[in-house]
Chain A
Amino acid sequence: MKEKPELLPYFLILPAFAYMMFFVGYPLMQALILAFTKEGVFSLYNIQRTFNDYYFRDALKFTLALAAVIVPTQVVLALILSLAMSKMFKGRDLVLYTIVIPLTISDVAAGLIWYSMLSSHGFLNKLLISIGVIDRPIYFFGYQFRHMEFLAIFLTEIWRATAIVFVIIFAGLQMISSEYLEAAEVFGAGYWTRLRRIVFPLLKPSIQSALIIRTLFAMQVFGVVWILAGRDIPVLAGEGFYQLTEIKDYGVASIYTLVIAGISILLAALYIKFFKAEYLEVE
């Protein structure tokens, strides 16, 4: 519809826009005020207390460490899975629906589901004992088994959120025209050459996009950690939650969440730098 610029689309967008501005803009401003004032005047008191908080450094460390091991693993797994699933085979739809089930499962439920696998009376331990691999259970939970809790969180997050990465990369893979691949095949390119020279370069935007979306969500990791490890493995969102609900310290809680926002904005800036609007075009 080529018409002169009219006001109608702006009116249609305005309510949604105003709503988002209120629910994102106002809290962000308010969070800054909560974080940087004390009794109504500007103060770094809260910042100081947060940075001196015994848990702060650990929370930052564990949040970043979890993202650093989880996100790359998910991208690699999703890539392999997407390539496998792009082949036609019997029962493909069934496998596809199975793989995407975790997309609809909350982080709290995923944590509980994996608890049933890994607890000392869980499936894994009982299986390994009954086939004679181990003779006492492997303990995954409790402060003294912190590294195992880390592993449990890792496994759960891989189980829960690889599907998101898969869906993004799989959608990208479907958009690659088969003509390119057929042409390459005609000219004698083998499977690996086709992957390296055609598929990977064309898939790059999807991979980057998946990488960044997952990293941003990884910064907010909360439910799985809270269920499986509590504060044994402190994370930024978890400490913010704890400060708010248990200590009722709004200032420190705000700073925890602002650190998440800060890292996220940094990553979002990368996102916008890497991807132009035409790539985000909704067709």
Chain B
Amino acid sequence: MDGEIKYALKQVAFYALIFTFAAWIAIPLIVSMLYAFAVPSEYYDPSKVIPLKFTPRHVEILLITLGALDAIKNSIFVALLTIAISFALGIPAGYAIAKFIFPGKDSIKLLIVALRMFPIPVMAIPLVVLYIRLHLIDTLIGVALAHTAMALPFVILITSSIFAGVSKEYEEAALIFGLTRFGAFLKITLPLALPGLAAAAMFTFVISWNEVFVASVLTLYNRTLPAHVLLIIAGASGGAAPDYYKFAAAFIMTLPAILFILVARKYLITMWGITLK
């Protein structure tokens, strides 16, 4: 009997712990979303812990009048370009690391792992000087090039692990049947790796979508969403925006992230396990 009570108590404590962790993450997300759509009088009413009247006005104003929609377009363009460049450079490198044994491989891998942690702010300031000279300053291409430098080590690590997961027997069979190495890669390995690569693309998208320091420093008018939000919201440079615009901004920035979790959830944990261990 005693044992049973002890077991039941343990179960309760366990679920309470899990629930606390989940609530700790979920509550701020839910609150900020509710507040993004709350009418200001509800938000400023101390007795209304949870607002009951909603309006899309602040999100609309932020999107149209305050230029967040253009910033979103910029962000998407930069992220897609980052994916394109970092995949063009990263897939061959990832393939080489996955499928070949060659001298210096370990050092190269170690270098990639180390580069992944290179502090981005260090890169940003000299890039401003360089970009002014190359007329890349305040261009989205310039931001995408910098984001590629940030994302490339991750892309190489992820793609190499994806290619390593594709059994080499298939490729060898293709070689025997007369395909070239490149043909075998194109016709066999790449299609098999496609779902993993799609997840890696989303991962790269999120890296670029979220990056703020480099994007803020390298652009003036053609800003990505985080850089634009930082400019119009942050107290230090732009003066304090009304609170409800802050929540609206948080909502716009968070929504794609949550969609990403929903779509890529199957690959998520493994992918982060690979890139971060």
**Do the beta carbons of B217 and A121 come within 8 Å of each other?**
no
Instruction: Encode contact with A along B23-51: 1 for CB under 8 Å, 0 otherwise.
Output: 01111110110010000000110111100
The one of B114, B206, B273 in contact with A167, judged by C-beta atoms closer than 8 angstroms, is B273
The reply to whether the CB of B5 lies closer than 8 angstroms to some CB of chain A is no
Q: Secondary structure of the B side of the interface?
A: helix
The reply to whether the CB of A12 lies closer than 8 angstroms to some CB of chain B is yes
**Do the beta carbons of A240 and B121 come within 8 Å of each other?**
yes
**Do the beta carbons of B113 and A264 come within 8 Å of each other?**
no
Alpha-carbon separation in the docked complex, A254 to B124 (Å): 9
**Do the beta carbons of B14 and A250 come within 8 Å of each other?**
no
Contacts of A217 in B (CB 8 A): 117
Instruction: Encode contact with A along B88-128: 1 for CB under 8 Å, 0 otherwise.
Output: 01101101111111110111111001110111111111111
**Do the beta carbons of A171 and B124 come within 8 Å of each other?**
no
Q: Which of B49-93 contact A (CB under 8 A)?
A: 49, 89-90, 92-93
Contacts of A241 in B (CB 8 A): 121, 213, 216-217
Alpha-carbon separation in the docked complex, A84 to B18 (Å): 7
Contacts of A123 in B (CB 8 A): 27-28, 31, 35, 49
Return the chain A residue nearest B42 by Cβ: A121
**Do the beta carbons of B213 and A15 come within 8 Å of each other?**
no
The one of B28, B108, B114, B270 in contact with A159, judged by C-beta atoms closer than 8 angstroms, is B28
A-B contact count (CB 8 A): 319
Alpha-carbon separation in the docked complex, A28 to B95 (Å): 28
Contacts of B118 in A (CB 8 A): 24, 261, 264
**Do the beta carbons of A222 and B212 come within 8 Å of each other?**
yes
The reply to whether the CB of A180 lies closer than 8 angstroms to some CB of chain B is no
Alpha-carbon separation in the docked complex, A119 to B113 (Å): 39
Contacts of B277 in A (CB 8 A): 168, 171-172, 206, 209, 280
Instruction: Encode contact with A along B233-277: 1 for CB under 8 Å, 0 otherwise.
Output: 111110000010011011001100110110001001110111011
Q: Which of A55-90 contact B (CB under 8 A)?
A: 80-81, 84-85, 87, 89
The reply to whether the CB of B148 lies closer than 8 angstroms to some CB of chain A is yes
Return the chain B residue nearest A222 by Cβ: B213
Total interface residues on A, CB under 8 Å, equals 106
Alpha-carbon separation in the docked complex, A186 to B222 (Å): 64
Contacts of B27 in A (CB 8 A): 117, 123
Instruction: Give A contacts to B, CB under 8 Å.
Output: 1-2, 5-6, 8-10, 12-13, 15-17, 19-20, 23-24, 26-31, 34, 80-81, 84-85, 87, 89, 95-109, 112-117, 119, 121-123, 125-127, 129-130, 137, 159, 164, 167-168, 170-172, 174, 206, 209-210, 213, 216-217, 219-220, 222-223, 226-227, 230-231, 237, 240-242, 244-246, 250, 253-254, 256-258, 260-261, 264, 268, 271-272, 277, 280-283
List 17 A-B pairs, Cβ < 8 Å: A9-B102, A9-B105, A23-B127, A26-B126, A27-B124, A95-B21, A100-B272, A107-B212, A108-B253, A109-B226, A116-B246, A117-B31, A164-B272, A171-B272, A272-B114, A281-B109, A282-B160
Instruction: Give B contacts to A, CB under 8 Å.
Output: 14-15, 17-18, 21-22, 24-29, 31-32, 35, 43-44, 46-49, 89-90, 92-93, 95-103, 105-110, 113-115, 117-130, 145-146, 148-149, 152-153, 156-157, 160-161, 164, 168, 181, 206, 209-213, 216-217, 226, 229-230, 233-237, 243, 246-247, 249-250, 253-254, 257-258, 260-261, 265, 268-270, 272-274, 276-277
Q: Which 3 A-B pairs have the closest CB atoms?
A: A171-B273, A30-B126, A106-B210
